[in-house]
Amino acid sequence: MENPARLLYGRLPGFVLSRRGRDEARQAARYLARRGIRALYSSPLLRACQSALILATECRELAVRHDARLIETWLCPDYLGKPQNMLLDAPYFANHGRDPGIETPESLRDRLFVFARHAALGPLPAAAVTHRDPLIAAYLFWAGLSPEEFLNVKFPTGGVIEALLDDAGAITGAEIVFTPSPA
């Protein structure tokens, strides 16, 4: 993503994919096209929509369904546009809701769980374009890790995580199945 000033952007409009982000999206799209994706969902934020458009083009011109449950972490307006280093003392969602100006990891995880249960009712396999922090919060739970273990997880930008579902559509785990090559 283009953020040369290294600002906290959260849900601010206008942040676009970088050249690297577009390349990673193309690599992920080629991987997903081989998987026969039948449904594609995206966060409504511009950078996610740009990734989803790349995926949709590669995956048989799929229609992109926007879903607000895939949106970026909520940050209070006081943080937006400020330098990123104001929150770097720890992975901010490892604070377990101690900062009322930041969406909790449980909230991030829960909205991705609700989305996944909904998506499991539609055509499968499906892909969703979301943002790093909601995905990490859900992945840590799916992998049986605590939020404090965030720094130990090698989580690829532009990667693909596969949610493992039981027969009822409940998520039973997740694994990183694709990591883009460096440009």
The CATH number of the domain where 34 resides is what? 3.40.50.1240
Tens of pLDDT, residue by residue over 63-85, are 999 999 999 988 888 888 888 87
Number of domains in the chain: 1
pLDDT band at 175 (very low <50, low <70, confident <90, very high): confident
With a pLDDT cut of 90, the percent of the chain lying above it is 34
Q: Where are the beta strands (DSSP E) in the chain?
A: 39-42, 64-66, 126-129, 160-165, 171-178
Residue 4: inside a domain, yes or no?
A: no
- Mean pLDDT score of the chain: 84
Residue 1: inside a domain, yes or no?
A: no
Q: What is the number of H-type helices and E-type strands within the chain?
A: 4, 5
Residue 7: inside a domain, yes or no?
A: no
Residue 12: inside a domain, yes or no?
A: no
Instruction: Give the model's pLDDT for residue 47.
Output: 94
Residue 11: inside a domain, yes or no?
A: no
Residue 13: inside a domain, yes or no?
A: no
Residue 99: inside a domain, yes or no?
A: yes
Q: Is residue 112 scored above 80 in pLDDT? A: yes
Instruction: Give the model's pLDDT for residue 155.
Output: 74
Rg (CA), the chain: 16
Using CA atoms, how far apart are residues 118 and 120, in angstroms rounded to an integer? Answer: 5
Q: What is the mean pLDDT of residues 95-107?
A: 72
Q: What is the mean pLDDT of residues 133-148?
A: 80
Which range of 50-59, 84-93, 147-156 scores highest in mean pLDDT? It is 50-59
Residue 103: inside a domain, yes or no?
A: yes
Residue 136, domain extent: 19-178
Return all residues near 140 (Cβ < 8 A) that are at least 6 apart.
105, 109, 146, 147, 149, 150, 153
CB-based contacts of 168-174 (< 8 A; 24+ apart in sequence): 169/117, 169/120, 169/121, 170/117, 171/113, 171/116, 171/117, 171/142, 173/142, 173/143, 174/138, 174/139, 174/142, 174/143
pLDDT band at 93 (very low <50, low <70, confident <90, very high): low
Using CA atoms, how far apart are residues 52 and 50, in angstroms rounded to an integer? Answer: 5
Instruction: Give the model's pLDDT for residue 121.
Output: 87
User: What's the pTM?
Assistant: 0.87
Using CA atoms, how far apart are residues 120 and 76, in angstroms rounded to an integer? Answer: 32
Instruction: Give the model's pLDDT for residue 103.
Output: 85
Q: What is the mean pLDDT of residues 107-130?
A: 89
Q: What is the mean pLDDT of residues 36-61?
A: 93
